[in-house]
Amino acid sequence: MPLAGSASSDPSEAVYISIMTEHDLLEVVEIEEHSGLSCWGWAAYYAELQASNRGLMLVAQVALPLEQVKTDQIAGYIVARLAANELHINNVAVRVEYRRRGIGSALLKRILEEGKGLAATAAFLEVRAGNSLAQALYKKCGFR
């Protein structure tokens, strides 16, 4: 069951945000590797899923038009952890071919909603100084 509806500006594709599962991890690690993030790797994501009493892990899946080769591909993901009343966003990544379609924004908005529902009063993240795309996304979503 999706947590959110379409985030894409392309009416021919539907984007759904759902809770990350073990089944998603190979694609998540692939996205991580191609995004140049500090590598958590499969084992770290798996451990986080198992101990996820304060963690929030979501994926965005894109259902492509029928004529496309791939369907239901994971387009992006976000991982955060709740500590006290603070939501710490650890990783956000979107596949290169799905960037600039609103998927990163949809993931951030959803994780902030989920955090607020769990009594988070503030959200924090870190971004590399040279990552202007991520900085623009975070600013668009209200981060300073």
pLDDT tens digits, residue range 59-84?
998 876 665 544 578 999 999 988 88
The pTM of this model reads 0.81
pLDDT tens digits, residue range 83-137?
889 988 888 899 998 988 889 889 999 999 998 888 888 888 777 767 777 777 7
> For residue 129, how far is the Cα from the chain centroid?
20
Which DSSP string do the residues of 80-121 spell out, in sequence order?
Answer: EEEETTEEEEEEEEE-GGGTTSSHHHHHHHHHHHHHHHTT--
Q: How confident is the model at residue 25 (pLDDT cuts 50, 70, 90)?
A: very high
Contacts (Cβ under 8 Å, ≥6 apart) of 116? none
Q: 14-140 belongs to which homologous superfamily?
A: Gcn5-related N-acetyltransferase (GNAT) (3.40.630.30)
